[in-house]
């Protein structure tokens, strides 16, 4: 899977954020998501989807090699993480996240929940689709 987005299709509903939190964190709390929707106000209906592109910047700066690539996905090994936050600072998309109550960062694992649940097809698998449901 390779995530992609068409920001012009995003309605700002944030279903993708909730789907992500439910799938990865097993919590009904969109604040625990691993992607982010940015609203551009005052422009009505203008949103930008920020998601992990699996660029590897986080892995490149990790001093203990806690982030490794497996089948095209960068995975964080929480048992190796020393919470230095170098990966959070290095993320060019601001999607390496440290959630309240945690001292260890989290990142997208390409589970696809956001893709499956987006009602507009604004975030999609670029390997199988061009985005858009309408």
Fold of 54-93: Alpha-Beta Plaits (3.30.70)
pTM of the complete model: 0.87
Q: What b/e string do you get for 25-50 counting C-beta neighbours within 10 Å, with b at 16 or more?
A: beeeebebbbbbbeeeeeeeeebebb
1-51+108-129 CATH, one of 2.120.10.10, 3.40.50.620, 3.30.70.20, 3.30.470.20: 3.30.70.20
Give domain limits for the chain.
Answer: 1-51+108-129, 54-93
| Residue 79: other Cβ atoms inside 10 A | 7
Cis amide bond preceding 42, omega within 30: yes
65-112 tens-digit pLDDT: 999 999 999 999 999 999 999 999 999 999 999 988 889 999 999 999
Residue 61 tokens, joined: 């700066």
Contacting residues for 132 by C-beta, under 8 A, at least 6 apart:
6, 9, 120, 121, 122, 124
Domains 1-51+108-129 and 54-93 fall in the same CATH topology: yes
């Amino acid at each position: 899977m390779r995530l992609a987005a068409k920001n012009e299709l995003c309605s700002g509903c944030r279903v993708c954020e909730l789907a992500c939190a439910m799938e990865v964190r097993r919590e009904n709390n969109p604040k625990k998501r691993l992607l982010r929707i940015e609203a551009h106000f005052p422009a009505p209906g203008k949103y930008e989807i920020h998601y992990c592109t699996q660029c590897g910047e986080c892995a490149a700066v990790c001093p203990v090699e806690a982030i490794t690539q497996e089948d095209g996905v960068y995975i964080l090994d929480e048992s190796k993480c020393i919470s230095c936050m170098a990966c959070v600072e290095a993320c060019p998309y601001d999607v390496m996240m440290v959630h309240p109550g945690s001292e260890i960062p989290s990142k997208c694992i390409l589970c696809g929940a956001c893709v499956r649940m987006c009602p507009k097809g604004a975030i999609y698998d670029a390997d199988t689709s061009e985005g858009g449901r309408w």
